[in-house]
Chain A
């Protein structure tokens, strides 16, 4: 059935058979040339069977894949459990981890809607009300006021807390929490400091920790699989060792270097942890790290222990316990190897999880320093140990800032100083650094693809990023030269891989994506061939051009 034009907050609990919104291609934010003529199909239709089996009444899209309750009794049981979880969410005992920020955001929002314009999902969808950052927050707020804050029915009615807590409300709220990339751009723009991203996170957490509801890509095949077999990708230690052998061969072939990649080397200075997706999908990334770390003479190692070779921590998106479990596994591996620090590779959410969000759960000898790879790479590039020729990267390059790295950790400049030094045609996107836009794959979307979510995450949540990329390469975008989006994050790369295909960016504008370390190795003069095959430059100056002197660091 068609959605209503004007949506009230209380509609979330009504008309379970009707989607609150239906997205068509005509609704969406227009894209610049050469994608201006692309007609988006809108969010794809579910099959009849899927419609019967899964909750989809928010917007006709399925992300969480919640099975429909089989009976009224089951619905009531789930509502009761949700209410129980709601109480725990607002208790010091059960949710000390985020209680203060949550309560502040619940109590003091004035609903000025300043945050709406900052949300790429809301903007790209053609400003659909269900995607407004305050929509799901207001639903939770009214439930909190009515069911937790001790107000009686009359007072609740007088106050305007008019939402019925029924199964339809919960099912829609659950899907709604998975229409936010948790990029927290909305929070950044809030004059009061209200954090709608946090509220989406807390809704996800309530559902997971109390009702056991979470997308299977995040939970069953994500954190649980990582804890069981070592990686959310399913990669086992034996598989890892085979890939490392392959990487060593590739390094020799591409760079002429014979490198033995250190694995489980006790007493190393650095334990380097990559997103295991890199080993499987982009082994040239961890291989480039190996080249750079060896060239710089660092004492480092990889791990083949459970979780030690996969930096991902999907718990950071939906579940504090899973976050803590995986973070502790990472720390245990580092402790057993007796390293002095953990360095997180090019993975934004792993940065956020291990360096910042999980920071306050570590105690004693498991409280091992955890740092980003970015400043280390910056030191390597400007140390003079590498012979770099920026002309080998003489093609248009723009930088995609992973939200987790910039807005959530404040790691902004090291990657820029590197790119300014090694990529002569580097240019910024219009909104960059701490004001960047999410790639649209944040908070788990990059690795989620149930049913029709793909159309949503590429067509809507990734649309703003496509617009940004296209604008960054104007006005000569149709010229044949290769252009690169540097995305120093595994999940962002996964999203870019899919966006490039979905929007035909390679065909229409010769746009490719890569990580940062690949570009650094590509600039090394003493490698016989291009490290990035698509980046072949026909005429390169024969002599080494020294990289620019680093900008003096301040505040370090």
Chain B
């Protein structure tokens, strides 16, 4: 009998995060993606995107919490209501918009190739001919690869950008293709400094690379979308956006309209 009641109490405890709380849950990829979000040694999330999330929540006057998930599980988990907003540097693309909805963008930066220091620079299809490019799975860069580079270069996919960096440093791949700021953070780090340099930004393609990084939402959450858009606009207008950006970057990352 005692066993049964302990089990019941345990079950009730486990189920206690019921949807009764009116807080907004933000889904983030659970691997570090500096400088946008990274976990420090004390287990706390920090980074530009985290600060942005806090500012937006303050505007909306809502309580916010973070749910961590693997990158390629973000969209399915959003659909099965594990959280409410994807806030993980995900770009608004036509493919993804078929399944989920997006808020207005909160930053937009080009996609870049980096490679070993002694490699020829350049980021066109001719430059990468015959080489191997490391790309994170399910990203706009892997879509871009399929459209422009697939016929001339090989691709190696990784669960996280960080594993791609490791292999670049180890010399197993010739390029890493990703967001310019995330790649920049690697080039500034100890291991990136010694091995690699920027090869160049790729030519833009709005359809594949998307209209900018936005929050991902379920299609039916129109009310939440309106609230988030209003909050993002307010944070931009009030100067808080620039304040946060100055902490991490020396230039504006919002991108041209």
Query: Does chain A bind chain B?
Result: no
Q: Chain A residues in contact with chain B, CB under 8 A? A: none
Q: Chain B residues in contact with chain A, CB under 8 A? A: none
